[in-house]
Structure 1
Amino acid sequence: MSDAALTETGVETGTERRDFIRASVVNVLGNAVKIVVEAAAGLAFGSLALLADAAHSVADLVASIVVLVWGRSVYADPDDTHPHGHQRVEPLAALFVGSVVALLGLNFFYESVRGFIVGVDVRFSPILVAALLFAMADMYVLYRYTTWVNETVDSAALDALAVDCLNDIYTTIAALVGIAGVFFGYPLLDAGAGAVVSVLVIYQGFEIGRENVSYLVGAAPCEDDYQRVVEALRSHPAVEGVHDVAVFYDGTDLEVEAHVEVDGELTLVEAHDIETELIGRIRDLDIVGDVHLHLDPAGIGEWKDAEENRE
């Protein structure tokens, strides 16, 4: 890779890291403001709906802080203790966010059922409505900003935070429906709306977790991505065959291992040049991080096959 390309890559990574940190900080501040507004209004008028929504945001605040402190290390260079880099930190942070979302959904569902059983005690005030509308606007702006930043950063952790912002809007709508029920004399409407929304929150938290567990355990990609890698190898004019291809996630990037068959009469220098070209081809795919290739003389067969024959 040329010095100019290395410089460009370094600048790009630095910009992505800066954008990631900025978006994480904005998420922390946005959740903190929402907590203060809703908790103050909830305490003033005895609204369990607002206090529950504020408590939900406390966990969101913790998740945002974790992503800020933990997730940004994905942009750190490889070192002696992490020779392949820190790519798995990002899905680990996203998995934490997904777990928090699912647990909060379960808690919200429990509180909704409890409301049906023991009832609720809240005094209506326009301030409650104003606080909820502010919370919805706050989360919508936060969702749009995080999504916009993530179009270039493409971070699993930021994607999880954006989904969580969307969840906050749904839970706040549920709280708003509950406050409307109080106004019209039907306070149990709060519990019913909360139960419905909590199921959606649980599902979205589960989906965030499921996707990022795949990244962490080194799962295989979809068939289309696998074929893109194989085609990039086979399309090289010097390649006569490809076998033992393994494509799997290392964090959110794909790692590629493959045996490539070439002319056995090539010199070592010629074979080295072909290997370099092939690695460059694969790394040019936006989904690939690291590549490990082994060049085999075409038609000779694998050493492991010879071992099996001797047995």
Structure 2
Amino acid sequence: MIEGEPLEASAGTQQAAFSRAAWVNVLGNTAKIVVEGAAGLAFGSFSLLADAAHSVADLVASVVVLVWGTSSYDEPDATHPHGHDRIEPLTALFVGAVIALLGLTLLYESTRGLLAGTEVTFSPILLGALAFAILDMYLVYRYTDAVNQTIGSTALEALAIDCLNDIYTSLAAVVGVLGVFFGVSALDAVAGGLVSLLVISQGVSIGRENVNYLVGAAPPPEKRESIASLLQNHPGVEGIHDLTVYYDGTVLEVEVHVEVDGEMPLRDAHDLETSLVDELRRQEDVGDAHVHLDPSGIGEWKDSVDT
């Protein structure tokens, strides 16, 4: 198996694994909120309360992924004849937006804390709560990432990245609490501000990737070139034109006109078309393909000049 390539699994198995991973994120964020929130309220820690507030929005995102993202595995129906694949990048886009907004909120709060100062009572319980939060999010990250190795879900990938963000923000809170212990409470706000910039950057990156999936953007040029090369190297193909490759959800759709011998028997032409479609669908990331056969050398109707 190529590293990073999802293992094959049935739709039912993938849906069940997706649901379990989403539930783990819901429960993990809930535990983090309770522990950090209680410790932050008890000792007036701005860092812990901000980190707990961060996880409240993460919890909302996890619930949305659980309820909404699972629908992407539903079979095509009368209202969605091409399936529900676009629901997954839409869910991931929501998660990316939440991450970016949280980063902006944390940046604002950190800046305000740096200018106005904070009043925190140091206690080892604060560090204990942060240690729990870091371990909690690390275990959730490892489980989510492991499940996603067999699924390749953009929504789970977004949640896994968000788990790492939680670890970074909790580490920033550790710096802040230690700053309080050593009498340098400004470290809390400075560390929080730096981490918030990373959170914003990752949220924007997730959003940009999934917008491409939703709007039917083209893949990188090398992907299109590899598909064109596959078609042109087939022994029954004399040329291709009007090749279009674009994202339909997280998978690629291929449309192409293939030029073949105009004297080819209809049954042979049918077998050739089937062979080409099957080969295209076997390519990584390709979900479906539509091949139109043209007799070579006759040109296209759209190339003709009206007289």
TM range (shorter): over 0.9
- Between the aligned partners of 1:229 and 1:37, the Cα distance in structure 2 is 52
User: Is the partner of 1:286 in helix, strand or coil?
Assistant: coil
Paired position in structure 1 for 2:293? 295
Instruction: Tell me which amino acid in the other structure corresponds to 1:251.
Output: G
Paired position in structure 1 for 2:149? 151
Identity of matched residues, %: 63
Q: How many residues align?
A: 301
User: Is the partner of 1:153 in helix, strand or coil?
Assistant: coil
Paired position in structure 2 for 1:142? 140
Paired position in structure 2 for 1:171? 169
Q: Does 1:33 align with 2:31?
A: yes
Which deviations, in whole Å up to 9, do the C-alpha atoms of 1:122-161 show, x marking residues without a partner?
A: 1111000000011001111111111111111000000000
Q: Where do 1:272-287 residues align within 5 Å?
A: 272-287=270-285
User: Is the partner of 1:124 in helix, strand or coil?
Assistant: coil
Instruction: Tell me which amino acid in the other structure corresponds to 1:72.
Output: T
User: Is the partner of 2:216 in helix, strand or coil?
Assistant: coil
- Between the aligned partners of 1:123 and 1:88, the Cα distance in structure 2 is 48
Question: How far does residue 268 in structure 1 lie from its aligned partner after superposition?
Answer: 2.0
User: Is the partner of 2:188 in helix, strand or coil?
Assistant: helix
Q: Where do 1:81-230 residues align within 5 Å?
A: 81-230=79-228
Paired position in structure 1 for 2:252? 254
User: Is the partner of 2:52 in helix, strand or coil?
Assistant: helix
Paired position in structure 2 for 1:310? 306
Unaligned runs of 5+ in 2: 1-6
Which deviations, in whole Å up to 9, do the C-alpha atoms of 1:164-188 show, x marking residues without a partner?
A: 0000011001111100011111111
Paired position in structure 2 for 1:3? none
Question: How far does residue 11 in structure 1 lie from its aligned partner after superposition?
Answer: 6.1
**TM-score, normalised by the number of residues in structure 1:** 0.94
Question: How far does residue 35 in structure 1 lie from its aligned partner after superposition?
Answer: 0.5
Paired position in structure 2 for 1:71? 69
- Between the aligned partners of 1:225 and 1:10, the Cα distance in structure 2 is 21
Instruction: Tell me which amino acid in the other structure corresponds to 1:296.
Output: D
- Between the aligned partners of 2:8 and 2:232, the Cα distance in structure 1 is 30
Instruction: Tell me which amino acid in the other structure corresponds to 2:116.
Output: V
Q: Which moved more, 1:73-82 or 1:274-283?
A: 73-82
Q: Which moved more, 1:242-251 or 1:141-150?
A: 141-150
**TM-score, normalised by the number of residues in structure 2:** 0.96
- Between the aligned partners of 1:217 and 1:265, the Cα distance in structure 2 is 40
- Between the aligned partners of 2:153 and 2:190, the Cα distance in structure 1 is 35
Contact 2:9 2:150 survives alignment (8 Å):
no
Paired position in structure 2 for 1:23? 21
| Gap change, CA 1:11 and 1:175, over 3 Å in 2 | closer
Relative to its length, the structure with more helix (as a share) is 1
1:12 aligned to 10, 13, 17, which one?
10
- Between the aligned partners of 2:75 and 2:267, the Cα distance in structure 1 is 30
Question: How far does residue 10 in structure 1 lie from its aligned partner after superposition?
Answer: 10
Which deviations, in whole Å up to 9, do the C-alpha atoms of 1:185-234 show, x marking residues without a partner?
A: 11111001111111111001010001111111111101221122112212
| Off by >6 Å, runs of 4+ in structure 1 | none
Contact 2:175 2:187 survives alignment (8 Å):
yes
- Between the aligned partners of 1:90 and 1:154, the Cα distance in structure 2 is 11
Question: How far does residue 117 in structure 1 lie from its aligned partner after superposition?
Answer: 1.9
Unaligned runs of 5+ in 1: 1-8
Instruction: Tell me which amino acid in the other structure corresponds to 2:78.
Output: D
- Between the aligned partners of 1:228 and 1:87, the Cα distance in structure 2 is 24
